Chain A
Amino acid sequence: MLELRNVTAAYGQDEVLSGIDLTLNAGEAVALIGESGTGKTTLGHAIMGLCEGVVQGSILFKGKNLLSLDNEAMRKLRWNEIGLVFQNVNNVLNPVYRVIDQVVEPMVVHGLKGKREALLRAGKILEEVGLARNRFVFYPHQLSGGEQQRVLLAMAIANDPELLILDEPLAALDEVAKIQLIPFLLKLNRVRKITLLVLTHDIATAVRLSDRLGSLYGGRVLELGPSESVARLPRHPYTRALIRSYPNITTSKDLQGIKGRLARPVSGCPFHPRCTQAIEICSTQVPRLKDYEGRIVACHRGGVIPLMRAVELTKDFNGCRAVDCVTLTIYGGETLALVGPSGSGKTTLARMLMKFLPPTSGRIYLEDQELRQNCGFSSRVQMIFQNPGESLSHRLTVLDLVSEPLEVAGRLSKEERRQKALQLIAEVQLPQDQTLIQKHPHELSGGELQRVAIARSLALDPDLLIADEPTSALDPSIQAKVLKLLLHIQENRGLSIFFITHDIAVARKISDRIAVMHEGRIVEEGLTSQIITAPEHPCTKALVTSAPSLEKVQKNGVETADAFSVGASEVAKSAVDPL
């Protein structure tokens, strides 16, 4: 129905849209999400022929190229066939007309209806969009922002358009009002078969309103696919970052912004300066939209990369199986938490991934390359140990400790190492003064020690941090700070974290996905929100129920003990029979 081919739009030198390719089928609802300034509004205006800049390319609406139509033809099309719900900024409504008259206007102007008829219909529509009757005759300034938005919606659908473009349709409404309006908009789409193009930064609205969801950045579509699947498992780093920074009720991980700021690079993928997995080609060539398993993604790397893959990894210690056929993928830029009771093989798995232990069988791939001894591995994967007091040599000063990895790598001069070490110390939010950097580990507190350990692990700019119970030796307030620091570093550097913990409550706050390990096997794996709210395996259930909680305190312990006995009996079983 609507087909955009290589649409560009520019205001003078400023290119806002740089080659949009998008097809909307009749009756379909498509949503595009993106930050402010990524070209959403310009796109809507360009389709409506309202864009003040220079629009090029072709916008085919039912076979006609809208860009080649003259003003008159476009005017006929506008409101009748294509409606636009304006974003309620800068008072789009005319302040000197009553709102009902403004809804009547498009019907009368286009000569579709008589005045009376139009008024009746306007009243009906306004009622449908949820405006109180007594407000129909108000002037716009007498209405709240939400009510104005409803009026704008009523105007857009007054002439029964076939395509409705919604530009931040619900941004001015509160959540409850949104929920009320969404079924109405869906009805427009499902019952009246109006094609919807939703442009918004409100991801939840976008998902609810659309069949297909896409992300828009730097005037390009970066990802497009079925709404729910995109929202659950975004493939493009930008879509994922956007979703990660969006507060919703089920995600438990702390919000993370997107590093850097919105700016248009001269060449290459528009997102590459902020991307967590950019490689050289990203800054020189624009990626084309390609099909990856039912998802269209514009990324040279095919979307979020699987950074490390363990395939059927097994480790035996003297006939006792510590890790049993574990297959696991750690994606670029994500936090995967490995949760499990003590003795479930978590540390052994981590040690195999770190190459400290050779696996009995199975393979480990780092970005599709099988691991071999010492080929730049240490600059890709680093470890944070459980007890910082042990992982830091007591003989060295903070400065020496932090510059040690650089010394091993041997690329920098002494002074450069010092400078880099100071940067790292600042990055982990430790004071850079002389007294601290000359201190020895035994003079530092637990939190400071773990920060030093984190600074060390970052020295070689790794892509993956394997953190083995990094906060279990710390008290809660310091643990909170260290976890926040880790998330902050992840946001800035875009590194992946493989976070090992026995505490599912900690995992919940820091991870995107959780894998639950029990008796050497991964028994459950999924999105953190899903695992926490609907655990399936008995062991996961036991972990979730026995996790620390201040609300569900069971003084007599009946409920928790009951739930725990499932896991406990299995643990007991494993104690009797190790295989």
Chain B
Amino acid sequence: MHVSIRGAFRKNRFGHIGLILLAGITLLALLAAVIAPTDPHLQTRQSFEPPSASHILGTNHVGQDNWSRLVHGARTSLLVGFLVACAATLISALLGVSCALTGGLYDGIMMRLVDALIIIPAIIILILIFAYVKPDIHFIIMSIALFSWAGGARILRAQTLSLKERAHIWAARSFGGNNWYVMRRHIVPDLSPILVVEFIHAFRRGVFVEAGLAFLGIGDPTTVSWGTIMRNAVEYSYMNVWSWWLLPAGLALSIAILSLTFIAHTLEPIMEPRLREEASA
């Protein structure tokens, strides 16, 4: 794995675009408190207002400023995406690597669990869960993460199986390094490019699933989310408000997903050895 992440980006135009878009959204989210003219939760009597100087994107059905909600929605999306990615990557790394190193019954059981998680449609299970439990944002993040690590764990396990037979790992063991040492000092750093790709995938999934659940109305209704904005806009589509209510949120979500997809695409050669050789040739 001698392909560096920076090197992969240097050559790829999509990668640049993805990074710029993601940076834009991140900036928006970070500066939300400054950019947003009003509190996104503040309800006024001026509902269904078209765009104006005071409300750039107009207001919604309960008189909240759409622009403020859009900007704060970016915060939610990115936060959920990021935390889901962190949790999912951590779980997949720990389980994938430990399965490969330990083997035996533990490996067998965990890999069957991974198989199960991969074939079970996560969205449906989440809908079921959230229908019964009124979830808050932390619960949402945790649930999405718990359904997002399986694919990564399988890839990491496979990579670790090949890594652990490499001479430098044997060398580390010959110095007396135990499983934990080998994992911490060698395998995880060696897997870092894959972990980055896994992270981006989980990130995208987190953003998407959160928006989707909110759109279906089974998220946390008090959280400002692009999904909720779109759900409300669709509800009031007969008011002919789509161009300043539905469209911006949809675009924002698309851009977020697109930017992450571009980044993932750029990093793909790192994941796939055959693509890597092609690129180097």
Partner of B168 from A378, A392, A408 at Cβ < 8 Å: A392
Name B's interface SS: helix
Query: In the complex, A445→B206 CA distance in Å?
Result: 46
B167 near A408 with CB under 8 A, answer: no
Query: In the complex, A405→B185 CA distance in Å?
Result: 12
Query: In the complex, A354→B190 CA distance in Å?
Result: 24
* Complex: chain B residue closest to A456, CB-CB: B171
B190 near A377 with CB under 8 A, answer: no
* Complex: chain A residue closest to B168, CB-CB: A393
Please tell me if B126 contacts chain A, counting CB pairs below 8 Å. no
Please tell me if A409 contacts chain B, counting CB pairs below 8 Å. yes
Provide the residues of chain A in CB contact with B171, threshold 8 Å. Answer: 383, 385, 391-392, 453, 456
Within 8 A of A (CB), among B166-219: 166-168, 170-178, 181, 185-186, 189-190
CB distance from B1 to the nearest CB of A (A): 9
Provide the residues of chain B in CB contact with A379, threshold 8 Å. Answer: 176
Query: In the complex, A456→B171 CA distance in Å?
Result: 9
Partner of A385 from B167, B175, B176, B177 at Cβ < 8 Å: B167
Please tell me if B2 contacts chain A, counting CB pairs below 8 Å. yes
Provide the residues of chain A in CB contact with B173, threshold 8 Å. Answer: 356
Query: In the complex, A429→B166 CA distance in Å?
Result: 27
Query: In the complex, A539→B261 CA distance in Å?
Result: 61
B176 near A395 with CB under 8 A, answer: no
Provide the residues of chain A in CB contact with B174, threshold 8 Å. Answer: 354, 356, 378, 381-383, 457
Interface string of A447-470 (1 = CB under 8 A from B): 000000100110110000000000
Please tell me if A569 contacts chain B, counting CB pairs below 8 Å. no
Within 8 A of A (CB), among B49-76: none
Please tell me if A546 contacts chain B, counting CB pairs below 8 Å. no
The list of the 7 closest CB pairs from A to B, nearest first, reads A378-B176, A391-B167, A405-B175, A390-B167, A408-B175, A393-B168, A385-B167
Please tell me if A404 contacts chain B, counting CB pairs below 8 Å. yes
Partner of A409 from B2, B166, B175, B185 at Cβ < 8 Å: B175
Please tell me if A387 contacts chain B, counting CB pairs below 8 Å. yes
B176 near A409 with CB under 8 A, answer: yes
Within 8 A of A (CB), among B133-178: 166-168, 170-178
Provide the residues of chain A in CB contact with B178, threshold 8 Å. Answer: 374
CB distance from A497 to the nearest CB of B (A): 15
Provide the residues of chain A in CB contact with B166, threshold 8 Å. Answer: 390
Provide the residues of chain B in CB contact with A385, threshold 8 Å. Answer: 167, 170-171
Please tell me if A372 contacts chain B, counting CB pairs below 8 Å. no
Residue from A356, A393, A453 with most neighbouring chain B CB atoms (10 Å): A393
Query: In the complex, A405→B170 CA distance in Å?
Result: 12
Residues of B within 8 A of A (CB): 2, 166-168, 170-178, 181, 185-186, 189-190
Please tell me if A394 contacts chain B, counting CB pairs below 8 Å. yes
A408 near B2 with CB under 8 A, answer: no
CB distance from A377 to the nearest CB of B (A): 7
Q: Contacts A390-B166, A392-B168 given: A408-B176 contact, CB under 8 Å?
A: yes
Offer 22 A-B interface pairs, CB within 8 angstroms, sorted by A: A354-B170, A354-B174, A356-B174, A374-B178, A377-B176, A378-B174, A378-B175, A378-B176, A379-B176, A381-B174, A382-B175, A383-B171, A383-B174, A385-B167, A385-B170, A385-B171, A387-B167, A390-B167, A393-B186, A405-B176, A408-B172, A459-B175
CB distance from A308 to the nearest CB of B (A): 15
Q: Contacts A390-B168, A391-B167 given: A408-B190 contact, CB under 8 Å?
A: no
* Complex: chain A residue closest to B175, CB-CB: A405
* Complex: chain A residue closest to B181, CB-CB: A408
Within 8 A of B (CB), among A308-353: none
Q: Contacts A394-B2, A408-B181 given: A460-B175 contact, CB under 8 Å?
A: yes
B175 near A391 with CB under 8 A, answer: no
Provide the residues of chain A in CB contact with B170, threshold 8 Å. Answer: 354, 356, 383, 385, 391
B189 near A408 with CB under 8 A, answer: no
Q: Contacts A356-B170, A383-B170, A408-B181 given: A393-B175 contact, CB under 8 Å?
A: no
CB distance from A149 to the nearest CB of B (A): 55
Besides A356-B170, A356-B174, A456-B175, 17 more A-B contacts (Cβ < 8 Å) are A378-B176, A379-B176, A385-B171, A386-B167, A390-B166, A391-B167, A391-B168, A391-B170, A393-B172, A393-B186, A404-B172, A405-B175, A408-B172, A408-B176, A408-B177, A408-B181, A409-B175
CB distance from A510 to the nearest CB of B (A): 21
Query: In the complex, A453→B172 CA distance in Å?
Result: 12
* Complex: chain B residue closest to A441, CB-CB: B168
CB distance from B193 to the nearest CB of A (A): 11
Provide the residues of chain A in CB contact with B172, threshold 8 Å. Answer: 393, 404, 408
Provide the residues of chain A in CB contact with B2, threshold 8 Å. Answer: 394, 442
* Complex: chain A residue closest to B1, CB-CB: A394
Provide the residues of chain B in CB contact with A392, threshold 8 Å. Answer: 168, 171
* Complex: chain A residue closest to B169, CB-CB: A393
Query: In the complex, A456→B175 CA distance in Å?
Result: 9
CB distance from B215 to the nearest CB of A (A): 43
Query: In the complex, A442→B4 CA distance in Å?
Result: 14
Query: In the complex, A381→B173 CA distance in Å?
Result: 12
Residue from B166, B168, B177, B178 with most neighbouring chain A CB atoms (10 Å): B168
B175 near A395 with CB under 8 A, answer: no
Query: In the complex, A236→B112 CA distance in Å?
Result: 60
Query: In the complex, A244→B137 CA distance in Å?
Result: 76
* Complex: chain A residue closest to B178, CB-CB: A374
Provide the residues of chain B in CB contact with A405, threshold 8 Å. Answer: 175-176
